[in-house]
Structure 1
């Protein structure tokens, strides 16, 4: 889950639980996959409930919007490829940024919950491949996490039974913590934009002239620090790097630290952690086998 609706009606930003996992004027919920390369594998977008398709759009190219010129080219078609569905009790849902040529439904078609509608793409105003879902009731946008109207503003606590998501999904969502999207041990420095294009880089080999421990994050907070530790099979520390505190919130971010020398074949352990002060907000560990 990359971003949530903006519940601040003014010029500020507030996600549903009064955090910062949104941006000004965002009315939907963004569910992402890692990269454009992953998009080629085909990730299904399915109907969230029974309903009728009202209208669709297909044929818009999948790309990443990086410049103002890119934005100008898609003006008026920011949703890219997508569809609008009408459901019971006044509920409606709009899906945006679907993959070109992937839509499987037509206007006036009835669909059932779980039916395939298309695939996650990067059409329209998209900086990463994802599906944007806007939920409304009687024409007024809602936040599906809390079930509240966007106009009602954020809340620091809400009854889970009010959520439009199932209970097991709500229990897995934590807007207070960052996400570690991926991490590893590579043989080249990390290019952040290349991560979105190609996904994680190849693992280092014993013939590479340098090695780096790296990690890719979503929804970091101002003041977070990133710690990367690399140890060999004997427990010797090869990398122990802590970043400077972030100067602002980061929707996506990557970090790496390394050494300019070859890495002998063997088993290595990478530990990644995100800290806020002395508190660990998120951590992950993985093992890399170098050949």
Structure 2
């Protein structure tokens, strides 16, 4: 039975009023609710925060640090993994705080939303497969887009911090593989980076809900490199999303060498540069200035094998993002061709 319903990331209260209002022994109160990370991974290495709560009440957008990493009406924090291959391997979604499971849904297929037709297909089930946990004093957390068939809890189950709820997926209205964490006090969405006591604009709130350990792990820039590498031909976003080009190793016989980089939360005006460097210098370069913010962006540069073959030595794939003349991302990986 489907126990969880969401529309446009605006979640309905699930279960009876009595069930929602219950305060359980050992559950955090309104003044002491502390949240841990909802996914078992290493932030900045194999998982990333893609989007934050939109704090702008009007038609504009604003995340808690004014970094542009949100969209209009977004009601949660999105913890993404890199690829669909990561989803297949299985990345646990875990309870951010102790409580009682008061809603869940499973059985929705994993598929990336790429078009309006895709979006229409998940209408009224935008959360996909998910879990709602009630923590007492009106607090709830909701975990969306879990992998089909992975839900590991049932309604009424008591869970502790860190208990597995399911696996990261891309069910419902998901444009990338992630878990969407919503936090509510009553019917109000609370940004866990801001808490309920306010604070300076474009900064952490006075009393964020995250544990100090979790906050320390999330102290990272919004704009980050997802991956970088080599390939032997043009690179498509669908290929890096699937994880099919990662790990490619060029050979002296390769008919082409392509350097590629993939990043998230880039801004309008950023200069993005992909370059391929050989032992003799730069072989190929592709640069573009973004005309709008990009939630994710892929760029590559390459060259066909010359008639005399590839010169022996070290080659480098280099990916750079410049913002107002300052370097915000720069990464390179080498390969030796001999």
TM superposition score normalised by structure 1: 0.90
Q: Deviations over 1:194-226 (max 9, x none)?
A: 222335442332222111111001000011112
1:190 pairs, out of 232, 235, 253, with 235
Worse-superposed segment, 40-49 or 89-98: 89-98
Query: Quick check: 1:147 aligned with 2:192?
Result: no
Q: What's 1:45 paired with?
A: 93
Q: Which runs of 5+ in 2 are unaligned?
A: 1-48
Does the 8 Å contact 2:252/2:310 carry over to 1? Answer: yes
Tell me, in whole angstroms, the C-alpha distance in 2 between the residues paired with 1:79 and 1:17: 25
Aligned residue for 1:144, secondary structure, equals coil
Q: What's 2:276 paired with?
A: 230
2:267 pairs, out of 217, 221, 234, with 221
Cα displacement (A) at 1:154: 8.3
Tell me, in whole angstroms, the C-alpha distance in 2 between the residues paired with 1:205 and 1:41: 28
Worse-superposed segment, 170-179 or 99-108: 170-179
Query: Quick check: 1:207 aligned with 2:231?
Result: no
Q: What's 2:215 paired with?
A: 170
Q: What's 2:109 paired with?
A: 61
The RMSD of aligned alpha carbons is: 2.2
Cα displacement (A) at 1:90: 2.8
Worse-superposed segment, 91-100 or 255-264: 255-264
Q: Which runs of 5+ in 1 are unaligned?
A: none
Q: What's 2:334 paired with?
A: 287
Tell me, in whole angstroms, the C-alpha distance in 2 between the residues paired with 1:153 and 1:22: 19
Does the 8 Å contact 1:8/1:153 carry over to 2? Answer: no
Q: What's 2:119 paired with?
A: 71
Query: Quick check: 1:109 aligned with 2:163?
Result: no
Worse-superposed segment, 88-97 or 73-82: 88-97
Q: How many residues align structurally?
A: 286
Query: Quick check: 1:253 aligned with 2:297?
Result: yes
After superposition, the Cα gap between the structure-2 partners of 1:134 and 1:154, relative to the gap in structure 1 and judged at 3 Å, is farther
Cα displacement (A) at 1:83: 0.9
Tell me, in whole angstroms, the C-alpha distance in 2 between the residues paired with 1:289 and 1:179: 26
Q: What's 1:9 paired with?
A: 57
Q: Deviations over 1:261-291 (max 9, x none)?
A: 1545643233322101321112223222447
After superposition, the Cα gap between the structure-2 partners of 1:125 and 1:191, relative to the gap in structure 1 and judged at 3 Å, is same
Aligned residue for 1:239, secondary structure, equals strand
Tell me, in whole angstroms, the C-alpha distance in 1 between the residues paired with 2:178 and 2:59: 25
